[in-house]
Amino acid sequence: MRKTAGFTLLEVIVVLVLAAAIYAVLLGVPMRSSGADLKSAARTLASGLRQAQTTAMATRHDASLTLDLDAREFRVAGDPRPRKLPDDIDLKLYTAQTEVSSERVGAIRFYPDGSSTGGRITVSSGERKYLVDVDWLTGRVSIGD
């Protein structure tokens, strides 16, 4: 039987796996959130915004969701515990100037009639992103790509 020169498929796969592992270690490739984690973070924010709107309407007093971009957490008026978002996502907040506490902390406020100051929270990781929008007139919260 004659042996042919070359590499087996298994040898090629092993070399590729080793090369990828070395590349990741040497370059410190950051791990990015999966699409499911990103969508989950957007849904968590939308849920918090809806909770703030419901609180405002039920108590007949203004209620807001306050977002800390550096700590990656938010608080809803009437709820003492902060809610943490994944550390490996990027957040941007667009809101009314009156609701900006500092350069990295701001809020979206809801009024007793259900309306709001309006705004947008962008949740992103790499090329993927979700937009959590709040309509100022109706207070409607929606998630878009």
Q: Which domains does the chain have, with CATH numbers?
A: 35-144 (3.55.40.10)
64, 99 contact by CB (below 8 A):
yes
Per-residue pLDDT of the chain (145 residues; tens, 9 = 90+): 566 677 788 888 988 998 888 887 777 655 555 778 899 999 999 999 999 999 999 999 999 999 999 999 999 998 889 999 999 999 999 999 999 999 999 999 999 999 999 999 999 998 999 999 999 999 999 999 8
Percent of the chain that is helix, strand, coil (3-state, to 5): 30, 30, 35
| Stated pTM of the model | 0.76
Count CB neighbours of 30 within 10 A.
9
| Listed residue (139, 97, 89, 143) closest to 114, CA to CA | 139
